[in-house]
Amino acid sequence: SRVKNLKDLFGEELKVYHSMRKPGTKELRKVLSDMKSRPEKTVIIGDLFFTDIIAGNRMGMYSILVAPLVDISQKWYKRLLGKITIAAYLVFFFTIGWVFRLGRLATPHLFANSVMDIDFDSLKESGHRLVIFDFDNTLESWGASTVSKEKRLLLNRVERLGLNILLISNGKADRLGKIDEELDTIKVISRARKPLTFKSKRVLKDYGVPPYKTVVVGDQLFTDIIMGNLLGAYTVKVEPISEKEFFWTKLVRRVEGILLSKMRKHPEVEALDK
């Protein structure tokens, strides 16, 4: 009812959608389908980080954050109230607001039981060009120093689809160096310090692939998924292959479990449509 006047004003000249439930992306996906557009070809402009910008970033859109509109024709105290609102928002965003942003950054676009269950054909058709895999407990069990025949076949199939592959791990160079030699056509980056993005950004630049055409696959929310979301990539969370891992990681898994129980209810974790 509140946007009815916009429909009356523009008629059929401008599409008007309402009740979008941002930062969820379910309704936005329907809009893009109706408009025959794709996330990487779409710009979203809004004044709220926690609705407009998060929704756009999760879908891989180009997002622009603008200051909330303050009408100069309004009385001085209303204009002052508007500026106070903007200031309060900025204080919130750069203090406790980071807690909320962290939760969103740790939310993947898609959940899968394992890398074998991921529809790479669909990802290729969606315009993605590069797949970044974590290694430990994503491709192989934690601490593995070789790649199994099953996973080699998977990587070969993904390459045949025309997708580039990159392995980025926080593991040590001596162990992963052997895997780098073993995987002749696939580059392996060790000591990546995920969720920091400086190494992954450098590699993306070398490959000439923009973040929104990149897929990040990993088993940990606070390293792999946050890194991918910070990049602006499409993120896929898989279940860890084994229970064997660092003591610290086991503690973090408990926090992950709490977040995961809530994330699975969010509509924005759905996969991209073909």
Q: How far from 40 is each of 30, 63, 110, 237, 272, CA to CA, in Å? A: 15, 10, 18, 21, 12
- Judged by average pLDDT, the poorest of 17-26, 45-54, 113-122, 163-172 is 45-54
pLDDT, mean of residues 197-218: 93
For 108-269, the fitting CATH number among 3.30.460.80, 3.40.50.1000, 3.40.50.300, 3.30.230.70 is 3.40.50.1000
What pTM, to 2 d.p., does this model score?
A: 0.64
Which residue has better confidence, 152 or 244? 152
Q: Which residues contact 12 (CB under 8 A, 6 or more apart)?
A: none
Residue 265 has pLDDT above 90, yes or no: no
pLDDT, mean of residues 218-235: 92
**Best-predicted range by mean pLDDT among 39-43, 91-95, 136-140?**
136-140
What pLDDT does 124 receive? 94
What are the structural domain ranges in the chain? 4-104, 108-269
Closest CA to 81 of 70, 93, 89: 70
- Span 248-262, pLDDT tens digits: 566 666 667 666 666
Mean pLDDT of all residues belonging to the chain: 84
What pLDDT does 112 receive? 93
pLDDT classification of 271: cutoffs 50, 70, 90: very low
What pLDDT does 114 receive? 95
pLDDT, mean of residues 189-210: 91
What pLDDT does 163 receive? 95
Q: What is the DSSP string of the chain?
A: -TTHHHHHHHTTSS-------TT--HHHHHHHHHTT--GGG-EEEES-IIIIIHHHHHHT-EEEE-PPP--TTS-HHHHHHHHHHHHHHHHHHTTTHHHHHHHHHT--SEEESSGGG--HHHHHHTT--EEEEP-BTTTB-TT--S--HHHHHHHHHHHHTT-EEEEE-SS-HHHHHHHHHHSTTSEEE----TT--HHHHHHHHHHT--GGGEEEEES-IIIIIHHHHHHT-EEEEE--S-S---HHHHHHHHHHHHHHHHHTT-GGGSPPP-
- Judged by average pLDDT, the poorest of 74-83, 111-120, 129-138, 229-238 is 74-83
pLDDT, mean of residues 231-239: 93
What pLDDT does 263 receive? 58
pLDDT, mean of residues 67-76: 73
What pLDDT does 15 receive? 86
**Best-predicted range by mean pLDDT among 31-45, 153-167, 170-184, 250-264?**
153-167
